[in-house]
Chain A
Amino acid sequence: GDSVTQMEGPVTLSEEAFLTINCTYTATGYPSLFWYVQYPGEGLQLLLKATKADDKGSNKGFEATYRKETTSFHLEKGSVQVSDSAVYFCARGVKAAGNKLTFGGGTRVLVKP
């Protein structure tokens, strides 16, 4: 079935370090891909998205490229801040499946000053 696999956390970094969170997905149904961020005690916020192969989503210094050949959508940020501490979720969705999103397990990121 449809699935999303992302690296387990927690990931602990120092401020200004480079962040990468790996995400792979099942390719059935030409999915759109998303990264969501969840701050403590809050719901999810869309961070970025890509709808087709080779698309690059970007927002707030974060980037992810839809790689069809490796079925990956890795999230990167060149210089993290303490305020980036949160849980990040990779997700896939297919309109043909009723627009339902399938989420990865989430990766907790902790940025220390």
Chain B
Amino acid sequence: GAVVSQHPSRVICKSGTSVKIECRSLDFQATTMFWYRQFPKQSLMLMATSNEGSKATYEQGVEKDKFLINHASLTLSTLTVTSAHPEDSSFYICSARDPGSRNYGYTFGSGTRLTVV
């Protein structure tokens, strides 16, 4: 079945630095990928929709300049957390839809736990 690979699985960075998270669709092409954020013991909040070859669509309240999304190819989307602060510490999850599957067919990555110290 469809596989989405997300890296890194864990990252610790210093305040003020930037961190890049990659999301790859391994055996299908994804024109659209989604980035979510999950706080401890809470649900997933959609941050943005990543569109191949065009600008991402951000949800209300998500800072575009802080969470940079690049979807340069049909198999790769990246989320860069710029000038990270401790409040950005969270679990970030990407998902992609395999257009070859029926009825959605969303596949999720395994998530990236970001800790900003």
Contact = CB atoms under 8 A, between A and B. Distances in A.
Contacts of B41: 106, 108
Interface stretch (B11-19, B66-74, B76-84, B101-109): B101-109
Q: Which 4 A-B pairs have the closest CB atoms?
A: A43-B108, A44-B108, A43-B110, A43-B111
Interface of A: 32, 34, 36, 41-46, 49, 51, 89, 93, 98-106, 108
A46 B2 CA distance: 12
Nearest to B9: A41
A44 B44 contact: yes
Interface residues of B, number: 22
Contact of B49 (A100, A102, A104, A108): A100
A42 B57 CA distance: 25
B10 to A, nearest CB: 9
B93 interface: yes
B54 interface: no
A32 B103 CA distance: 8
